[in-house]
Amino acid sequence: LSQAGHTPLSFRDGEVEVLRHLGWRLRAIPPLHIIGYFLAKGTIFQDDTWQNRPLIEKIPKYVKKYADFFCNLTLQEYSFQEYLPSVLAAAILMASRVALQLEPRWRPELVRLTSYEESDIIDVFTHVWSYYEEQFPGHGHRSISPRGVNGDIVPHL
């Protein structure tokens, strides 16, 4: 690179220019951190149902597994970068509830927690769910067992 006229100082100048272009915003909060906050505040409710039955004790653990899975899945596809992390996190929360067949899929308590109505996140949820179905054909259309979710196994694109 020195033959092309680049010096450490020219690289620094280029980095400074990029930072100016980005408005000096160096930190991004990924959806995974926002999901962690949502889960800590509570995303399962006494009158939720699971596959048309009362909830079982392990449901919060299953929601976390699905949320981690969907966060990892969306990290692998650049098109999800267009969404605000909080919107994507809310859509991932909805996808986790849908994957577990929790009803209702979105609640007033979740609106208060996330600040998003279902109508605010439905397009992002649809993108997440469509991408999931594309990567795992047949999984989105059938009953999904929480045992089938393993945060360590995520397809590589």
pLDDT for 26 equals 59
Residues 6+ apart with CB under 8 A from 116: 86, 87, 90
What pLDDT is stored for residue 29 in this prediction?
82
In the three-class reduction of DSSP (H, G, I as helix; E, B as strand; rest coil), residue 77 is classed as: coil
Which structure tokens are listed for 101? Answer: 């067949």
Task: State phi, psi for 61 to the nearest 5 degrees.
Answer: -65, -40
Where the chain has pLDDT below 50, the residues are 142-157
Task: Report pLDDT for 150.
Answer: 43
At residue 6, the pLDDT reads: 62
63: nearest Cα among 75, 83, 78, 48: 48
Residue 154 has a pLDDT of 34
DSSP letter at 147?
G
| pTM score of the predicted model | 0.75
pLDDT at 142: 46
